[in-house]
Every structure is written in C-alpha cells, then in structure tokens.
Amino acid sequence: MRITSIVSLSAALLLAAPVAAQTSSQAGTATTSASAAQTAKPEAEKKICKRLAVSGTRMADRVCLTKTEWEKVEQEK
C-alpha cells in the first residue's frame, strides 16, 4: 500500500512538471530582454534517484525526485 501511494505520488508530480514548465516559459516570454539580463536563473534542484521495491516482482522501480519532493513523500507516509 505504501509503495503504491509513493509511486502514485511520484507519477502525479512527474505529470505536473510539464504544466509548471509551460507556465514559467510563458512568463519568461513576457519579460523584456533587459529585465531577463538582470535576473539570473536559479539552478535546478538536483534529482535524487531511489529504487523502490514492488511486491510481486524482483524488479525494483527507479524513482527520481528532488529533495523537496522526497520530503513530501516522506510526510505522506
């Protein structure tokens, strides 16, 4: 049950990422080149990959999330 919820959460987070990227890219096109030069892009958070055991199989699922996303997963347990 825990593994299913973790995998479901990670899938939801992965599906939400393109929507967030699309929103930020639309906002980026609205800025002028002068304001874009003044602000530096924050570095993307490093992904942390873990192998999660799945019952009923010997194969483990590999899930890669950022540190904050892993913290959210741990809070939901």
The domains of the chain are located at 2-30+46-76
CB neighbours of residue 73 within 10 Å: 20
Maximum distance among all alpha carbons in the chain?
56
Please name the helix (run of DSSP H) or strand (run of DSSP E) that holds residue 8, with its range, or none.
helix 2-30
Rounded CA separation 58/36 (Å): 49
Please name the helix (run of DSSP H) or strand (run of DSSP E) that holds residue 62, with its range, or none.
strand 60-66
Query: Mind listing the pLDDT tens digit of every residue in the chain (77 residues)?
Result: 566 666 666 766 666 666 555 555 555 555 444 444 455 556 677 999 999 888 888 888 999 999 999 999 999 97
Q: Which pTM does this prediction carry?
A: 0.41
Q: Which residues pair with 62 in a beta bridge?
A: 51
Instruction: Report pLDDT for 50.
Output: 92
